[in-house]
Each structure stands twice: as structure tokens, then as C-alpha cells.
Chains A and B, each alone.
Chain A
Amino acid sequence: MIPEIGHFALILALFVALALGLLGVIGGQQGRDDWMALARPGAQALWLLTAFSFGCLTYAFYTNDFSVSYVAQHSNSKLPGLYRVAGVWGGHEGSLLLWHFMLTSWMLAVSIFSRQLPDAMVSRVLGLLGLVAVGFLLFMLITSNPFLRLSDVPTDGRDLNPLLQDPGLVFHPPMLYMGYVGFAVPFAFSIAALLNGRLDAAWARWSRPWATAAWIFLTLGIALGSWWAYYELGWGGWWFWDPVENASFLPWLVGTALMHSLAVTEKRGLFRNWTIVLAITAFSLSLLGTFLVRSGVLTSVHAFASDPKRGVFILLFLSVVVGGSLTLFAMRASKVRSGGSFALVSRETFLLVNNVLLTTAAASVLLGTLYPLIVDALNLGKLSVGPPYFNSVFAPIMVPVLLFMVVGSFARWKSDSATELAKRLSPVGIASVVLGSTAPLLAGAWSALAALGLTLAFWIVLASLLQIYQQLRNTVNWKSTPISYWGMHLAHVGIAVCVVGITMVKGYETEKDVRMVIGDTVSVGGYTFRLTGIRTEAGPNYHADVGDVELIREDRVLRTLHPEKRIYFSSTMPMTEAAIDTSLVRDVYVSLGERLEDGKNPAWAMRVYHKPFITWIWGGCLLMALGGAMAALDRRYRKKAASFAATPVKNGALV
């Protein structure tokens, strides 16, 4: 009964979303107060219905209702409670429901935190988001209904993929989807502004906190996914340039560009067209990511061709969104006047350059991701584009981005003198080159790449410290500095922390595959591992071989690590659970391979790693997200619409 009620709530939601979309957009266009008044309650009703439906599916999972096909495929009665709830988004149908739930949550947030906006704007934005929701609801109801029943009820479910039975994965998809879908909000703001024909500073100011909020969730989602891959896939990698990862990284790159472009539009009234294009692109890439991950094209283009319903629907949806918004943009673009002029050496220029570079980086990642699919679809052969491609294209594009990031934050708006700027930046430049090129000596072997990476990291951190010092010296009361100023510097330092992590791991990680019998030792990165025993252990829905490995440094046993090889009952497939000892400056990592020889003293294949500074990669992401949160919470976003008229331009930060 409960699943049917959930299904029914989804159908109701479709009608509410349709009504909200039509009344909201048309009402906003024609200024009909009675229709516009429906936008906020409509969005809230849509959220309630979706939340209820989501609750019904969760309930079906929690109570092991295997008569529901989706539950039977993704859960099992032996599955622990937490993973039963996570199982809701363990497959295609539930992921879509989560996507839609997130979308309505953003709508709920817009309906609550939009008191300072004119009603017509809120009505249009919520209406447009309602239309997006219509697309997803139709997709779910037509092709991917999570509430379908089985006529032949199995006694037990097929179980959740063991890889997904992990605390990291409980939070990774919700964060990621929250970020993906979040870009629907700045997209809706842009389209609403195009419909309105008024692309002014106010529009940019309204969009900014939403774009930043979506970016925060996406940053956290990507970081969680990378961390999960690192410890759960068992082989120590943290980024594979896998199409699924690229699908989330593309909107992140464009979203980063969007945030900064919005800042220029708000502060200076410039780059309006560019900002609109970025907002449309960020959301389109989110949809493209959904298509790539959800249509099955990645598994096989030809499998997709044999069951194309889902893929074709998303492609149609994507083309309606992209085509429609670009057509609208083309019709209105001529009316968008540029706000003012700026000199060649100015903050605007550096922001623009970085914007172009970030988009170029996104384009090259997109090319590498789609190329094999296109070649395969045209039957031109099978090939793959490996990580070396992405590394050798992405890294050189990011170097100038990191350089200009600092120059941009030092340069004045409108116009600055190149010599003046060089004078201000040269101490930072010299200090970071000196520190950056000597630091690798401390780590052991000197390498040019490590020196470059560390120099860039010092460059960013020292520049931020210098600016903060000057800011504090120039203001009487430190409280007068807006919180978004601190947010910007924190996020930039986060980038630097991330760069340190990547540089150190790439430059100095060591790895060994060995055959070990009990009593054997292996050394890596100054640490010695001794295998002291292997025993079997039973878990709730698996049994495991558990190794006891002593971690030794300078003849002292630091601790015992327990890598596992699990066999899940439901699937008989083995899973490697690595054991990791984490500290601020390094991880040591051991995982258990196969049993190579049986007998009295069995031999095992083992892999050991020493990864310096790897946690900095995710720590940096966390700092970026925190910085983003501080920027989004700035008090001036909550001011009434009336006070938007004049936007003073300060020489301060890009706040």
C-alpha cells in the first residue's frame, strides 16, 4: 500500500509542478498578482509531495518490502539499517528520485529565502524550476518508476552492491546531487532575467549566493567521492579521470568560472552575456552528467542503443533546456548592454582570463570524456582516452589559473598600472619561488614539478596572508571587513592546500606489490610492515580474511593494521578493504590481495603504499567549501531590494 501512495504522490507532484511552471512563468511575465501569489505555496507543496514520496520509498527499503522491484534489486534483509536507507539511492530509479527531491529542496529554499526579491522575479524563477521538475517527474514516471511491484515476490533481495556499503557513500550522492541540481537555481535566475529583459547588478547579486551554495555542495560531493574511491576501491588512487568523475568535475569547473563572473557582473556590471552563458552551461553540464551516468552509454554505447528509452528522454530534455535557453539568449543578447569599460591591466581582465582558462579546461575534459563514446557510436573502432591525456592537458592550463588568481585579487578594479602591480606582487613572488624551490629538498629528491607545485601553493598562501595583513592594518575595526572577504581568502588557501596535496602525492608516493608469508616484512617510505597473522572473521552479511600487519618505524611498533578481503554472501564477489594509518603529513596504506599459495604457511599478495600529504587534497576541498559558505552568508545578500540601486565599488577584495 505504501509504495502505491508514494507513486500517487509523484503523480500529484507532476500536476503541481506543471501548474507551478505555467502559472509562475506566465504570471510573472504578465504581472498577474493572483498567479504570482501561487508560486511560493506551489513550490512548498511540491517539496512536501516529493519528500513524502521519498519517505515512502525509504520506508519500503527499511521494512524490506521485496515486492517492490527496485527494493528487491538493491537491498537484502541482512543489510544493516543505515545501508538500507542509503540503498534508496543505490540504483538508477532511486537516484533520480533523490535528484528530484534535491531540486524541490532548492525550490523550497528559494521560496523561503527570497523575501527581499520582487514577487515577479520569484514567480518566474520558481516557475522555471517547476518546469525542470516536470521534466524529471515525467522521466521518472515514464521510464524509471521506483515504485513498480513484482508479481513474483522474491524471498530476499539481491543486495546492495558491496562497494556501496560504506559510510562515505551514504553521504556522497546526496552532496553531489545537491551540487548538480543547485546549478538549476542560477540557471533559472538567468533565464528569468532574460525573460524580464533586465540584466542588472541586482540580478547578479540575487544569483550569487545560490551559485556559490551549489558550488559548495558540488565541491564536497566530489571530495567525498574521491576519498571514497581512495579507501574503498582498495588500490590507493584518488582520481581516475573516469567518465563518471569527469561528469561531476565539468560543472564544477564551469561553476567556479560562473561564481567569479557573477562577482564582476554584480560589482561592475560587466560580462553579463558571459555570465548568462556560464549559468546555462553549468546547468547543461549537470544534465549531461546525469545523462552520461544514468543512460548506460558509459557501459556500452550499443547497450544504450538496444534500450534507448532512458537515454533518449534525457537527450531530449537536454536539448530542450539547452536549445530553448540559447534561443532565448540569442533573442535577448542584443539588448544586453555592457556596463562599462576596463583597462587591459585590471582585476576584470585577470578574472576574464581565468574564466576563459577554466572553460577551456572544461572543454578539454569534455572532449576526452565524449570522444571514445562518439567514435564507438559511429562504429569507428574502440578506444579509450587514458589519465595521461587529462593530466598533460589539464595541469598546464591550471598553472596560469593559479598564477592569475593571485594577480587578479591584487589588481584594482577598472584600471591598474602594471609596474605598480609588479611592485606590490614581487615580494610575494620572490618569497614563494625561494620557499617553493627549497621545500622539495626537505621531502627528499628535488624535482621541477614538485618545485612548481609548491611555488604556486606558497604564491597563493603568501598573497592571501599579505592581503589580510594589509586589510587589517588599513581598517580600524576588523569586524567591519565583510565575512565574504574572509571566505574568499579561505577558499583560495584551500586551493593551495589541495595543490600541495596533489604535488606531494604525485611527486613522492611510493608503492610496492609483494608476496608475503606470516613473519615477512616490507619497507616503504621509512615505514616497515610486518605480517603477523591472517584469520577469518564473520561480518553481518559477509565473511572476511583479516590480516594483522604491524606498522613499524625505527624498530617501534606504531600500531597494527587490519586489511580485509571480504566475500559477501549475496554475490560471492570479493572486496578489498584497505587498512590506512592517517596523519596530517602522510598516509600509509596496506591492502590484501589474493591468496597465492595454500598450505600450512599460506602466501598472500599484498600492496603497501606511502602517500605523503594525501589528506591535504580533501582538506583543501573542505576549506574551499567553508570559504564558499562564508561568502554565501554575507549580510548584504539579505538586504531589501530597494537598497540595491547603488552598488559602490570598493578597492577591497572580490567580495
Chain B
Amino acid sequence: MKPRHKRAALIGGGLAALGLAAYLVLNAFESNLVFFFTPSQIASGEAPKNRTFRVGGMVKEGSVKRDNLTVAFVVTDTAKEVSVSYTGILPDLFREGKGVVAQGKLGDDGKFSATEVLAKHDENYMPPEAQHAVDEAQKTIKTLK
């Protein structure tokens, strides 16, 4: 094999590998980006049906109801609310009145069924998305006034 052919083979192989990697990346990216919506955005119908996304805000005081391992609670951004249900063990820092982020799908009845509930390990810590939801809602309330 001539050096020129060899170089061509190497470059061709490299491009093929890169192309494959790019294909894998784009393919996986497309289907695995998890978007975030605030309860207000859900209320105004911006959130998709039957696609996984995240919702965040505060767990409304007095809204947590348990039935065996299934928990129902309300997430609020101080303006709008969304009902969430989850089956399984909640993270240690799940508390009424504290920040929470849930990942799952929105049903046709407007209820959110979570497959994952995230809360980080610091009692004063507010998940950034939850904080963002409350801030956005507060901003809207202020501009409306």
C-alpha cells in the first residue's frame, strides 16, 4: 500500500468514526434533553403532553398525602400549582414548604406523574430550578400589579 493510500485510509477511517460519534451524539441528544417548566408555564399550556420533563417549585404546605408508597403533593411557584404523584421512596430532604424538582410526564387530566423526585442534600439549599420557578412567578406577579 502506498503512503498516499494509507493516509487516505486513515483519514477516511477517522471521518467515519467521527461521523458515527456525531450520529450517536445527535440521536441521543434529541431524545434525552429534559426540559424544565414552571407550574405557571404548565398552567398556560406550554408544557408538552406525554414527553418527560421537569417541574420545580415549592411543596405546598399541607398538600402531602400518602397512600402506602404512593405520595401525592402539590408543587407551587407561588402563582400557579400542579398536582404531582409519585410512587417510591422520597429523598431525605423532601419537606412541605421546601423546594423540590420532579421529573416525569403530564397526564391528560393535568396531573403530573413523577418517576423521579430530586431534592439536594442541604436543608437551606433550594434546587436551582425550583428557585427559578418561584422567581419567575414573582416577577410576573409584580409586573401585573
Q: Mark B116-136, 1 if CB is under 8 A from A, else 0.
A: 000001110000110110000
- Which one of B31-39, B106-114, B137-145 is at the interface? B31-39
CB distance from B79 to the nearest CB of A (A): 17
B-contacting residues, A363-407, CB 8 Å: 363-364, 367-368, 371, 381-386, 388-389, 392-393, 396-397
Q: Are the C-beta atoms of A574 and B69 separated by less than 8 Å?
A: no
Does A447 have its Cβ within 8 Å of any Cβ on chain B? no
Contacts of A606 in B (CB 8 A): 89
Q: Are the C-beta atoms of B122 and A573 separated by less than 8 Å?
A: yes
Choose among B1, B10, B24 the residue that contacts A397 (Cβ–Cβ < 8 A): B24
Choose among A163, A343, A571 the residue that contacts B6 (Cβ–Cβ < 8 A): A343
Does B93 have its Cβ within 8 Å of any Cβ on chain A? yes
Does A560 have its Cβ within 8 Å of any Cβ on chain B? no
B-contacting residues, A331-362, CB 8 Å: 341, 343-344, 349, 352-353, 356-357, 360
Contacts of B6 in A (CB 8 A): 343-344
Of residues A381, A382, A575, A593, which shows the largest number of chain B Cβ atoms within 10 Å of its Cβ?
A382
Q: Are the C-beta atoms of A386 and B34 separated by less than 8 Å?
A: yes
Q: Are the C-beta atoms of B123 and A607 separated by less than 8 Å?
A: no
CB distance from B22 to the nearest CB of A (A): 9
CB distance from A497 to the nearest CB of B (A): 26
Does A513 have its Cβ within 8 Å of any Cβ on chain B? yes
Q: Are the C-beta atoms of B90 and A594 separated by less than 8 Å?
A: yes
B-contacting residues, A158-209, CB 8 Å: 161, 163
Choose among B17, B28, B123 the residue that contacts A356 (Cβ–Cβ < 8 A): B17
Instruction: Tell me the complex Cα distance, A574–B24, Å.
Output: 41
Contacts of B36 in A (CB 8 A): 381-384
Total A residues in contact with B, Cβ cutoff 8 Å: 48
Q: Are the C-beta atoms of A360 and B18 separated by less than 8 Å?
A: yes
Q: Are the C-beta atoms of A382 and B35 separated by less than 8 Å?
A: yes
Does B14 have its Cβ within 8 Å of any Cβ on chain A? yes
Q: Are the C-beta atoms of B92 and A575 separated by less than 8 Å?
A: yes
Instruction: Tell me the complex Cα distance, A572–B123, Å.
Output: 8
Q: Are the C-beta atoms of A389 and B29 separated by less than 8 Å?
A: yes
CB distance from A408 to the nearest CB of B (A): 14
Q: Mark B7-32, 1 if CB is under 8 A from A, else 0.
A: 00110011001100100110111011
Contacts of A607 in B (CB 8 A): 89
Q: Mark B55-90, 1 if CB is under 8 A from A, else 0.
A: 000000000001011000000000000000001111
Does B3 have its Cβ within 8 Å of any Cβ on chain A? yes
CB distance from B132 to the nearest CB of A (A): 6
Q: Are the C-beta atoms of A344 and B10 separated by less than 8 Å?
A: yes
Contacts of A386 in B (CB 8 A): 32, 34
Given contacts A382-B36, A593-B90, contact A364 B17 (CB under 8 A): no
Does A515 have its Cβ within 8 Å of any Cβ on chain B? yes
Q: Mark A513-526, 1 if CB is under 8 A from B, else 0.
A: 11100000000000
Instruction: Tell me the complex Cα distance, A594–B96, Å.
Output: 14
Q: Which residue of B lies closest to A573 (CB)?
A: B123
Instruction: Tell me the complex Cα distance, A259–B53, Å.
Output: 41
Instruction: Tell me the complex Cα distance, A513–B88, Å.
Output: 6
Q: Are the C-beta atoms of A392 and B66 separated by less than 8 Å?
A: no
Contacts of A515 in B (CB 8 A): 68-69
Given contacts A161-B121, A513-B88, contact A382 B21 (CB under 8 A): no
Contacts of B129 in A (CB 8 A): 382
Given contacts A343-B1, A356-B14, contact A397 B21 (CB under 8 A): yes
Q: Are the C-beta atoms of B24 and A349 separated by less than 8 Å?
A: no
Instruction: Tell me the complex Cα distance, A389–B29, Å.
Output: 6
CB distance from A375 to the nearest CB of B (A): 9
Instruction: Tell me the complex Cα distance, A479–B122, Å.
Output: 55
Of residues B9, B31, B128, which shows the largest number of chain A Cβ atoms within 10 Å of its Cβ?
B128
Contacts of B13 in A (CB 8 A): 353
CB distance from B13 to the nearest CB of A (A): 7
Does B54 have its Cβ within 8 Å of any Cβ on chain A? yes
Choose among A163, A300, A356, A363 the residue that contacts B131 (Cβ–Cβ < 8 A): A300
Q: Which residue of A lies closest to B88 (CB)?
A: A513
Contacts of A573 in B (CB 8 A): 92-93, 121-123
Q: Are the C-beta atoms of B33 and A574 separated by less than 8 Å?
A: no
Does A153 have its Cβ within 8 Å of any Cβ on chain B? no
Q: Are the C-beta atoms of A392 and B24 separated by less than 8 Å?
A: yes
Q: Which residue of B lies closest to A361 (CB)?
A: B21
Q: Mark A474-514, 1 if CB is under 8 A from B, else 0.
A: 00000000000000000000000000000000000000011
Q: Are the C-beta atoms of B89 and A513 separated by less than 8 Å?
A: yes
Does A576 have its Cβ within 8 Å of any Cβ on chain B? yes
- Can you sample 23 A-B contacts with CB below 8 Å? A234-B92, A344-B1, A344-B6, A344-B9, A344-B10, A349-B10, A357-B17, A381-B35, A382-B35, A382-B132, A383-B34, A384-B36, A384-B54, A389-B32, A392-B24, A393-B21, A515-B68, A515-B69, A571-B123, A573-B122, A574-B93, A575-B92, A593-B89
B residues lining the A interface (CB < 8 Å): 1, 3, 6, 9-10, 13-14, 17-18, 21, 24-25, 27-29, 31-36, 54, 66, 68-69, 87-90, 92-93, 121-123, 128-129, 131-132
Given A389-B28, A392-B27; 18 other pairs, CB 8 A cutoff: A161-B122, A300-B131, A300-B132, A344-B1, A344-B9, A344-B10, A357-B17, A371-B29, A385-B34, A386-B32, A388-B28, A388-B32, A392-B24, A513-B69, A515-B68, A575-B92, A594-B89, A605-B89
